[in-house]
Amino acid sequence: MSLSNHPFITPGQTIGIIGGGQLGKMMAFSAKEAGFQVIVLEPTPHSPAGQVADEQIVAAYDDRVALSTLAKNSDVITYEFENIDYQALDWLAEKAYLPQGSQLIKMTQDRILEKQALTEAGVQVAPYAVIHEKADLAKGLQMIGYPAVLKTACGGYDGKGQFIIRKQEDVEEAAQLLENGACVLEAWISYEKEISIVMTRSTNGDFACFPIGENIHIDHILHETIAPARISTDVEYEVHQLAEKIAQHLQLVGTLAVEMFLTKDKQIFVNELAPRPHNSGHYTIEACNISQFAQHIRAICGWPLRKIQLLSPAIMVNILGQHVHPVMEEIPKRPNWSIHLYGKEEAKHNRKMGHLTILTENLERTMNELDGCGIWS
C-alpha cells in the first residue's frame, strides 16, 4: 500500500470503528480526547465502544447497508478486531477511506497465509506443515516430530481451535480439527518466555514501537504482562529488527502486535500477529507517554507519531469474569491499582471483563503482592 496521498484527518471529523468491544472503547476514548466524532458498527446493543461513541450502528459486521451508512458518515474507518468478514471489508475499502486496507485482515485471519507472509518477511517461525486431510497429518508428524501443535487455519483464539499432539495415540482426536477446514501443524517450541511487541505505522510513514512486554498465560488466556520484558539488550535489539522487517513487508498502516516465543538459547520464533491494539499493550495507558490507542488514532489520521517513552515499569493483569467481584472488594486497599472495567453486561467465567495496571519500580515485589491477594491463584 502506498503511503502517499493519504488525507490528514483533523479534530471535528469522524472516525468509524468496526467492532464494539473493549479495544474499540479505548480507541474511542483516545479519539474523543483528541476532538474527533466516533461512530461504532457493532451488532450487540450498548456495546463497550458504543457506550462512549457519539453513535452506534447496531448491525452485523458484514451488513452492506450498515457499512454504507458507516462509510457515508465517517471520514476515516478502522477496526478493533480481526474476526470481521474480509470480503465485506474489501467491499468497504472501495467506498470509504480505510487506510489499513483489507489485506492485513485477510492474512491474519488465516494461519497459512500468515506463516507464508512471516517467512517471506525473513523472520523465524516454528517449523510447520499445511494440513488438509488426515494423510497430510501423518506426513507432517514424520517431518516435524512430537510434540507438535495442530491449529485450525481460521477462527481460533485464546487456545481454542488447537490440539497438542504428544504421541501417536493423540492423532485420531487431533484430526477432528480438520472437520473445521485446513489446519497448520507446528513444531512445539520449548520456550523460556512469551514476549510481544506492539508497533504502529502512520499513513505519513512514521514508525514507532512500544516497549517489549513479557507475557504470562493461564489456560491459553493472557493473565499478566510485565513491561519492560526481562530480556537482554541483544534480544531487545533483535525483536526491534524483526518488527521493522514485518512492518515493511506488510506495508503496515495502523497498529500491529507480534507475539513471540523466546527460547533458552535466545532464538526468537514469531507465533502470531494481531492487526490492532493488543491486550499485552494495555499497560501503555498508564506507563507510557502515549497509549497504544492514542498512537493508533494518530496513525490512521496521518498525524506524526509520538516518540515513545516508558515512564515507569508496569504490570498489567487481566480481570476475567470470576475476578470482577474480588477486584472490586480490593479497591479500598489498593491505591496503586489503575482499574479498567469494560462495561460488558455479563461477567462470564474466563471472559475478559477488564484489566488493572500497577506502576512499580520493583517488579518482583509487585508480582508477589498480586499473588498474595489470592484473586488469581
Q: Which domains does the chain have, with CATH numbers?
A: 14-108 (3.40.50.20), 127-187 (3.30.1490.20), 193-372 (3.30.470.20)
The yes-or-no verdict on residue 207 having pLDDT over 90 is yes
Q: Is the pLDDT reported for residue 161 higher than 70?
A: yes
Question: Residue 129 burial by CB count (10 A; 0-12/13-18/19+): exposed, middle or buried?
Answer: buried
Q: Work out whether the CA dihedral 57, 59, 61, 66 comes out positive or negative.
A: negative
Average pLDDT, the chain: 96
- C-alpha grid cell, residue 192: 523460556
Quick check: 208 pLDDT over 90?
A: yes
Q: What pLDDT, in 10s, does the model give residues 31-82?
A: 999 999 999 999 999 999 999 999 999 999 999 999 999 999 999 999 999 9
Residues 126-158: tens digit of each pLDDT = 999 999 999 999 999 999 999 999 999 998 666
Does residue 345 surpass a pLDDT of 60? yes
Average of pLDDT values for 342-348?
Answer: 96
**pTM assigned to the model:** 0.96
Average pLDDT over residues 231-254: 98
Question: Is the pLDDT assigned to residue 20 strictly greater than 80?
Answer: yes
pLDDT value, residue 158: 62
Q: Decide if pLDDT at 160 tops 90.
A: no
**Residues whose CB is less than 8 angstroms from the CB of residue 125 and which lie 6 or more positions away in sequence, other chains included:** 115, 118, 119, 186, 269, 270, 271
β pairing state of 207-209 and 193-201:
antiparallel
Of the candidates 139, 46, 22, 30, which has an alpha carbon nearest to the alpha carbon of residue 38? 30
- Find, among 268, 275, 125, 133, the residue nearest to 199 by Cα: 275
316/285 Cα distance (integer angstroms)? 10
The grid coordinates of residue 222 equal 493472557
Counted residue by residue, the chain has a size of 377
Q: In what order do the strands lie in the sheet with 76-79?
A: 55-57, 37-41, 14-18, 76-79
pLDDT at position 155: 80
Task: Write out pLDDT tens, residues 268-311.
Answer: 999 999 999 999 999 999 999 999 999 999 999 999 999 999 99
Q: What is the mean pLDDT of residues 217-239?
A: 97
pLDDT-above-90 percentage for the chain = 95
pLDDT at res. 83: 86
CA dihedral sign of residues 114, 116, 122, 123:
positive
Q: What is the pLDDT of residue 249?
A: 98
**Distance (Å, rounded) from C-alpha 43 to C-alpha 376?**
32
- pLDDT exceeds 80 at position 159: no
Q: Where on the phi/psi map is residue 95: left (φ > 0), alpha (ψ -120 to 50), or beta?
A: alpha
Tell which residue, 170, 149, 168, 171, has the closest CA to residue 160. 149
Of the pLDDT bands very low, low, confident and very high (cuts 50, 70, 90), residue 2 is very low
By CB atoms closer than 10 A (0-12, 13-18, 19+), residue 2 is: exposed
Q: Does the pLDDT of residue 193 top 60, yes or no?
A: yes
Angstrom distance (rounded) from CA 86 to CA 104: 9
The pLDDT assigned to 4 comes to 52
- Whether 343 shows a pLDDT value over 70: the answer reads yes
Q: Are strands 76-79 and 14-18 parallel, antiparallel or unpaired?
A: parallel
Give the pLDDT confidence of 91-137 residue by residue, as tens digits. 999 999 999 999 999 999 999 999 999 999 999 999 999 999 999 99
Cell of 70: 458507516
Asked if residue 192 has pLDDT above 80, the reply is: yes
- Cα atoms in the Cβ-side hemisphere of radius 13 Å centred on 5: 3
pLDDT tens, position by position, 324-341: 999 999 999 999 999 999
Alpha carbon separation from 161 to 116, 134, 175, 183, 221 (Å, rounded): 20, 16, 11, 9, 13
pLDDT score at 377: 84
